[in-house]
Chain A
Amino acid sequence: MESDLSPQDKKDLDKFIKFFALKTVQVIVQARLGEKICTRSSSSPTGSDWFNLAIKDIPEVTHEAKKALAGQLPGIGRSMCVEISLKTSEGDSMELETWCLEMNEKCDKDIKVSYTVYNRLSLLLKSLLAITRVTPAYKLSRKQGHDYVILYRIYFGEVQLAGLGEGFQTVRVGIVGTPTGTITLSCAYRTNLAFMSTRQFERAAPIMGIIIDHFVERPFGNVGHMHPCNYRAPGEEEGGAFAGVEDSQEVCTTSFSTSPPSQVMVAPGKEGGVPQVPMQPCHGAQADHGHVSSCPTGDATHHIPATPPSSGEDAEALSRSSEVKSTSPSDPLDATFTRKVGAFVNKPTTQVTTAGLDLPFAAFAPRAYELEENDPMVHPPDSPATSSPLQGSLHSQASSDNGGQTQEDFVMVDFKPAFSKDDLLPMDLGTFYREFQNPPQLASLSIDVSTQSMAEDLDSLPEKLAIYEKNIDEFDAFVDTLQ
């Protein structure tokens, strides 16, 4: 049915459809980045803004879209789809919506290509801008970060809606008739988010200990072609980043945020004293150079090295990265490790005892305990979590059984203590801090020990006072040392 179309019109129409498809993908993905989008109006035409709309082009997204199209155009029976899904920090994923750009056979022969079709496509893009803020996935994408991230996938061919669960809704964004068919843009979105409500806030406590290289194979084999909705700051060197990207391995591992709790596992494998930086968790390391933190720090300028450094250079990489503001090159991958380690809840923690460690401050441990037990005048801190690692009890057996600290104890994003060298001690300073940051409560304070009732306490008071009076010289001497 294209015989009525002049060659120029046909060429124009194909070009319009192609760029419309690319712009559609940009609008959808940008609307799921989790940030507010703002572009400027320009009264003088630049000639490069398709459909007279200021829509930025994220190169990675254009690249993916072109790859999916593979030189073809959306046509009858060949739809272009953008699938938006959510992936939690535990590794569960769920499709949220699928945007479909389809073409049907209904032709509008009389319509003017270069004018009416173009303007209507522009209108359709505006509608898409409006509708992308209205579907449920928009709110989810604005809140993405630590608990979950939003991913996109572009595919061409038949529309697949099975992953949206039962009762999904469809909203039609709009249609534009053309001489070769009618373009339809619609969105099918999931309504059943039950999975989200139960799993959203479950977080496995990170397990303290030594990281062994868990990742001999990719944990999520079939996620393939999923990409994080992460925005890259303009001006970044991106040309080289795409040369080596392997689609099938751009798994969600790149998309965890680098907020503090994910930094638990900063000190990687210390077995044998040789740090093993987990730079190749999923062979998707190459893909990670596409990753940029989506945290509101706006710190979106990190390059993950395309080739991971060899382990011999790891110490260098780690100490260098301590200068980086909030994320280091290894962080996203460490973050990945953290999540994965958390998933393996049965993994035993390392039991670290004071006896087994050459702790610089180990000598203080029994003395502090003794003193505090005997001296009721000393008021220990109310919550061990707030005490510094050097105070209080250094009963490390208990500390490692705490299941690690709660997420909120971490203040530093990247815990690389200054002046520490990774390869001197089997356990470095960073691990030491973490181990002892949450010492267990003093035995003298614990409820089990003080099973004596108040009355008994009062009864035993005179005896205690007598003992203290006897040792008064000792106490005086102690006080003198403090002054």
Chain B
Amino acid sequence: MNCRSEVLEVSVEGRQVDEAMLALLHTILLHRSTGKFHYKKEGTYSIGTVGTQDIDCDFIDFTFVRVSSDELDRVIRKAVAEFKDALNITGSDGMGQISLEFYQKKKSRWPFSDECIPWEVWTIKVNVVNLANEQERQICREKVGEKLGEKVINVVEVINRHEYLPKMPTQSEVDNVFDTSLKDVQPYLYKITYQITDSLGTSVSTTMRRLIKDTLAL
């Protein structure tokens, strides 16, 4: 099966990185989360309700919608914070990308561990710029807001092509398709990884190594 891959690029100022990433990641997850499944007898299930919340950005003229789940928000914020820290640590170039990958687990026979098969990957490429004065920052606020708006429209466009989505699983298979660890919403299984590009353009794949480690550990 082919994995769908989409790339979004944004240029932001340092203090806008968090909010820009949150805005896009949450917009994607809004579309890739459902209510909690409640399986009943005879293989039927009912679905819980997903609430939504408007979030105003402080450093960008932008408001985005996320699912009302503080747990999910915490997880995403943590990942974004790590990404931002990594961006700060490396040279002043300030380029990197964060990837949100949706995958399915496929059970393998022993001794092989389960496979993680991605079916959709969103990559957000970030270019951090430095601005000289407040006026430029103000302009950047608005410009980045508009850009994020365009990205949201891109995301919505892709999602509404209604391409491959995993089949709704039976009760025994639900953990292979959905992340059932949250108590209020149920996103598709996902993982967030990031890469920082140093000034030479080569990618520092510390997190790629970690990803591989995680995969082997499963």
Contacts and interface: CB of A to CB of B under 8 A. Distances in A.
A43 interface: yes
Nearest to A45: B46
The 6 closest A-B CB pairs, nearest first, are A174-B160, A39-B51, A36-B54, A54-B51, A134-B149, A41-B184
A173 B51 CA distance: 20
Given A37-B52, A39-B68, 13 more contacts: A38-B53, A39-B52, A41-B51, A41-B68, A46-B49, A123-B162, A126-B52, A127-B31, A130-B31, A130-B155, A131-B153, A174-B156, A175-B160
A375 B65 CA distance: 66
Interface in A47-63: 49, 52-54
B69 A37 contact: no
A52 B54 contact: no
Interface residues of B, number: 37
Interface in B98-137: none
A36 B61 contact: no
23 contacts: A36-B56, A36-B63, A37-B54, A38-B53, A41-B49, A42-B48, A43-B183, A44-B38, A45-B48, A52-B47, A52-B49, A53-B51, A54-B51, A127-B31, A127-B159, A130-B64, A130-B65, A133-B54, A133-B64, A134-B149, A172-B160, A174-B156, A175-B160
A40 B68 contact: yes
A35 to B, nearest CB: 8
B167 to A, nearest CB: 11
B30 A42 contact: no
B159 A138 contact: no
A172 B48 CA distance: 28
B192 interface: no
Nearest to A132: B65
A134 B153 contact: yes
Interface string A163-184: 0000000011111100000000
Given A126-B31, A130-B152, A45 B38 contact: yes
Interface of B: 27, 30-31, 34-36, 38, 46-54, 56, 61, 63-65, 67-69, 149, 152-153, 155-157, 159-160, 162, 168, 183-185
Contacts of B31: 123, 126-127, 130
Contacts of B183: 43
Interface residues of A, number: 36
Contacts of A126: 30-31, 52
Contact of A54 (B30, B50, B155, B157): B50
A129 B52 contact: yes
A43 B69 CA distance: 11
Nearest to A30: B54
A173 B161 CA distance: 11
B67 to A, nearest CB: 6
A38 B68 contact: yes
A303 B153 CA distance: 40
A46 B152 CA distance: 30
A54 B51 CA distance: 5
Nearest to B46: A45
B166 to A, nearest CB: 12
B184 A38 contact: no
Contacts of B67: 41
B170 to A, nearest CB: 14
B52 A127 contact: no
A54 B31 CA distance: 14
Contacts of B51: 38-42, 53-54
A142 B56 CA distance: 11
Contacts of B35: 41-43, 45, 52
Residue among A37, A130, A131, A139 facing the most chain B CB atoms (10 A cut-off): A130
A37 B53 contact: yes
Interface in A101-135: 115, 120, 123-124, 126-127, 129-131, 133-135
B48 A133 contact: no
Contacts of A40: 51, 68
A54 B68 contact: yes
B52 A53 contact: yes
Contacts of B53: 36-39
A123 B159 CA distance: 8
A335 to B, nearest CB: 28
Contacts of A115: 168
Nearest to B184: A41
A176 B162 CA distance: 9
A353 B50 CA distance: 66
B196 to A, nearest CB: 28
Contact of A130 (B27, B38, B47): B27
A120 B35 CA distance: 14
Contacts of A130: 27, 30-31, 64-65, 152, 155-156
A36 B52 CA distance: 10
A129 B155 CA distance: 13
B5 to A, nearest CB: 20
Contact of A43 (B36, B64, B149, B157): B36
A41 B50 contact: yes
B48 A44 contact: yes
A208 to B, nearest CB: 39
A41 B160 CA distance: 23
A285 to B, nearest CB: 33
B184 A43 contact: yes
B57 to A, nearest CB: 11
Contacts of B38: 44-45
A54 B30 CA distance: 13
A138 B64 CA distance: 11
A49 B49 contact: yes
B149 A173 contact: no
A38 B34 CA distance: 17
A172 B161 CA distance: 12
Contacts of B156: 127, 130-131, 173-174
B43 to A, nearest CB: 13
A237 to B, nearest CB: 26
